[in-house]
Amino acid sequence: MARTIWSGAISFGLVTVPVHVQSATDDHSIRFHQYYLEDLGRVRTRKVCELENRVVANAEIGKGYEYSKDRLIPISDQELRDLPLPTAKAIEIDAFVPESDIDPIQIAEGYYLAPDGQVAAKPYKLLRQALERSEKVAIAKYAWSGRERLGMLRVRENAIVLHALRWPDEIRDPAGLVPPPVEVSEEEIERALALMETMSRDDLDDPEFRDEYTEAIGKLIEAKRENREPPDVPAPEKAAEVLDLMAALNESVQRAKASRGEDADVHEMPRAKKAAAKKTTRSRSS
The predicted pLDDT at position 240 comes to: 58
Q: How many domains does the chain have?
A: 2
Q: What is the CATH number of the domain that holds 104?
A: 2.40.290.10
Q: Is the pLDDT of residue 93 over 70?
A: yes
**19 plus 108 within the same structural domain:** yes
Does residue 233 lie within any of the structural domains? Answer: no
Does residue 38 lie within any of the structural domains? Answer: no
The predicted pLDDT at position 131 comes to: 95
> Are 230 and 220 in contact, with CB atoms under 8 Å apart?
yes
**146 plus 195 within the same structural domain:** no
Which range, 119-123, 213-217, 273-277, has the best average confidence (pLDDT)? 119-123
Does residue 107 lie within any of the structural domains? Answer: yes
The predicted pLDDT at position 250 comes to: 81
**19 plus 96 within the same structural domain:** yes
- Rounded to whole angstroms, the Cα distance separating 123 from 18 reads 9
Q: Is residue 270 left, alpha or beta, with left meaning phi > 0 and alpha meaning psi from -120 to 50?
A: beta
From 61, 128, 135, 64, select the one nearest 97 (Cα to Cα).
135
Average pLDDT over residues 112-120: 92
Q: Is the pLDDT of residue 128 over 60?
A: yes
**135 plus 104 within the same structural domain:** yes
Question: For residue 256, what are the domain limits?
Answer: 190-202+243-271
**194 plus 92 within the same structural domain:** no
pLDDT tens column, 186-209: 988 888 888 888 888 777 777 777
Range from 69-73, 157-161, 279-283 carrying the lowest mean pLDDT: 279-283
Consecutive H or E run containing 63: strand 63-68
Please report, as a single letter, which amino acid is at residue 172.
Answer: R
Does residue 55 lie within any of the structural domains? Answer: no
Residue with the bigger pLDDT between 167 and 78: it is 167
Does residue 140 lie within any of the structural domains? Answer: yes
Using alpha carbons only, what angle is made at residue 161 by residues 156 and 163, rounded to the nearest 5 degrees?
125
Average pLDDT over residues 115-139: 93
Which burial class, exposed, middle or buried, applies to 128 when counting CB atoms under 10 A from its CB (0-12, 13-18, 19+)? buried
- Rounded to whole angstroms, the Cα distance separating 50 from 59 reads 17
**155 plus 198 within the same structural domain:** no
Does residue 42 lie within any of the structural domains? Answer: no
- Rounded to whole angstroms, the Cα distance separating 8 from 88 reads 8
> Are 253 and 198 in contact, with CB atoms under 8 Å apart?
yes
The predicted pLDDT at position 282 comes to: 45
- Rounded to whole angstroms, the Cα distance separating 234 from 56 reads 48
The predicted pLDDT at position 94 comes to: 93
pLDDT range class, residue 145, cuts 50, 70, 90: confident
**195 plus 110 within the same structural domain:** no
From 76, 271, 266, select the one nearest 186 (Cα to Cα).
271
pLDDT tens column, 226-271: 888 887 777 766 665 656 777 887 888 887 777 777 765 544 444 4
**194 plus 128 within the same structural domain:** no
**197 plus 123 within the same structural domain:** no
Does residue 262 lie within any of the structural domains? Answer: yes
**134 plus 197 within the same structural domain:** no
Does residue 217 lie within any of the structural domains? Answer: no
- Rounded to whole angstroms, the Cα distance separating 3 from 29 reads 19
Residue with the bigger pLDDT between 272 and 201: it is 201
**198 plus 117 within the same structural domain:** no
**196 plus 137 within the same structural domain:** no
